[in-house]
Structure 1
């Protein structure tokens, strides 16, 4: 992504070891928000706006592109981004 990590926000939905592992994997390439859902986070209060709600995310994984003016210019389920594409190997980390 042009601009690197500072131009990418990843929202991980859930809690526990799997969410922690995903956040750790994404941290080198994105700023990461870990968002627990109501079922597994008793600390959420009414009126708290979640990142997924703010971006209108209803399916996981999803992709949202925000323009320079701060408005959403593209939104899709991540699976739709790759439909019909040739499978690609997972990126390797060191």
Structure 2
């Protein structure tokens, strides 16, 4: 997997996580908590399709950890903490 694919897939994961958070903020007063439960679950599920040699799985697994370590805290901080923001 080349650098372009890594950047593209990382950006796609970030956009999907952000879209889920935005949707949750529109439909529930507990978006931050719900998203905080969904994010680690999605991270763990991302390991399911990892195949190949042990070296390849290790590299891809480390990339997953890196992306999650960046995305989860950033999106958590941007999430609305106000339970009264529900419309």
| TM-score bucket (shorter structure) | under 0.3
TM-score w.r.t. length of structure 1: 0.22
Structure with the largest fraction of strand: 1
Q: Could you say which structure has the greater relative contact order, defined with CA pairs below 8 angstroms and 6 or more residues apart?
A: 2
Structure with the largest fraction of helix: 2
TM-score w.r.t. length of structure 2: 0.23
